[in-house]
Chains A and B, each alone.
Chain A
Amino acid sequence: MTRATLQALLSHWGRHPLQLVTLLAGLALATALWSAVQAINAEARASYQTAATQLGADSGPYLHAPSGLIPVSQYVTLRRAGWQLAPVLQGRAVLGGIWVSVLGVDFLNPPALPAFTQDDRPETGLSLDALTAPGRLFLHPETAADLAQASGLPPVSITNLVPPGVVLCDISLAESLLQLPGQLSRLVVLPDQSAGLKPLADLGDLAPDLVLSQPARAADTARLTDSFHLNLTAFGLLSFAVGLFIVHGTVGLAFEQRRPMFRTLRALGVPLRLLAALLLGELLLLALIAGAVGLVLGYLIAAALLPDVAATLRGLYGAPVTGGLTLRPAWFVTGLGMAILGALAASAQALWRLTTMPILAAPGVLGWSLRAARSDRWQAGLGAGLIAIGGLAIVVFDGLIAGFALLAGLMLGAALMLPPALGLVLRFGQSRARGPVSEWLWADMRAQLPGLSLALMALLLALAANVGVGTMVSSFRLTFTGWLDQRLSAELYVTARSDAQGTEVQGWLAGRADAVLPIRYTTTQIFSTPVRVYGIADHPTYRDNWPILTADAHMWDRLAQGRAALINEQLARRAGLWPGSSVTITPGWTLPVAGVYSDYGNPSGQVIVSLDSLLQHAQDVPNRQFGIRIAPERAAALARDLRQAFDPPLSRVLDQAAIKARSLEIFDKTFVVTGALNILTLGVAGFAILTSLLTLWTMRLPQLAPVWALGMTRSQLARLELSRSVLLAGITALLALPLGLLLAWVLLAVINVEAFGWRLPMYLFPADWLRLLALALLAAIVAAALPTRRLSRTPPADLLRVFAHER
Chain B
Amino acid sequence: MLLDISHVTKTYAGPDAISTSRVLDDVSLTLTQGETLALTGESGSGKSTLLHLAGALDHFDSGEITLNGIALSTLDDTGRAALRRSTVALVFQQFNLIPSLNVAQNLAFHARLGGKPDQAWIARLIQRLGLGDLTGRYPEHLSGGQQQRVAIGRAMALRPNLLLADEPTGNLDEATGDGVLDLMLELVAETGAALLLVTHSQRIAARLGRHAHLAGGRII
- Please give the residue numbers on chain A whose beta carbons come within 8 Å of chain B beta carbons, in ascending order: 366, 370, 435-437, 439-440, 443-444, 446-447, 703, 705-716, 796-797, 799-800, 802-804, 806-807
Contact = CB atoms under 8 A, between A and B. Distances in A.
Interface string B101-114: 10001001110111
Nearest to B88: A711
Contacts of A797: 12, 58
A192 B39 CA distance: 110
A439 B77 CA distance: 23
B100 A446 contact: yes
A254 to B, nearest CB: 22
B207 interface: no
B130 interface: no
Contacts of B48: 800, 803-804
Contacts of B109: 436, 440, 710
B100 A447 contact: yes
B97 A709 contact: no
A712 B100 contact: no
A799 B81 CA distance: 14
30 contacts: A366-B140, A435-B112, A439-B105, A440-B100, A440-B105, A440-B109, A443-B100, A444-B100, A446-B100, A447-B100, A703-B98, A703-B99, A706-B92, A706-B97, A709-B55, A709-B57, A709-B96, A710-B84, A710-B90, A710-B109, A710-B154, A711-B113, A713-B78, A716-B81, A796-B52, A797-B12, A800-B48, A803-B52, A803-B166, A806-B96
A438 to B, nearest CB: 11
Contact of B81 (A703, A711, A804, A807): A711
B59 interface: yes
A715 B78 CA distance: 9
Contact of B85 (A447, A710, A800): A710
A332 B12 CA distance: 53
Contacts of B86: 711
Q: Which of A703, A804, A807 has the most CB of B within 10 A?
A: A804
Given A437-B113, A706-B98, A806-B96, A712 B81 contact: yes
Nearest to B110: A710
Nearest to A370: B140
Given A711-B114, A803-B93, 15 more contacts: A436-B109, A444-B98, A705-B96, A706-B96, A709-B55, A709-B96, A710-B109, A710-B113, A711-B83, A796-B52, A796-B57, A796-B59, A797-B12, A803-B92, A807-B94
A800 B110 contact: no
Contacts of B57: 709, 796, 799-800
B168 to A, nearest CB: 12
A802 B84 CA distance: 17
Interface of B: 12, 48, 52, 55, 57-59, 77-78, 81-86, 90, 92-94, 96-101, 105, 108-110, 112-114, 140, 154, 166
A706 B100 CA distance: 12
A439 B113 CA distance: 11
Contacts of B52: 796, 800, 803
Contacts of A712: 81, 85, 113
A732 B98 CA distance: 25
Given A446-B100, A796-B59, A806-B96, A711 B140 contact: no
Contacts of B112: 435-436
A711 B96 contact: no
A708 B55 CA distance: 12
Nearest to B139: A366
Nearest to A437: B113
Contacts of B105: 439-440, 443
A677 to B, nearest CB: 38
Contacts of B78: 713
Q: Which of A437, A713, A802 has the most CB of B within 10 A?
A: A713
Contacts of A366: 99, 140
Contact of B58 (A439, A440, A796): A796
Contacts of B58: 796-797, 800
A443 B139 CA distance: 13
A713 to B, nearest CB: 4
Nearest to A439: B105
Nearest to A704: B98
Contacts of B55: 709
Given A437-B113, A439-B105, A440-B109, A447 B81 contact: no
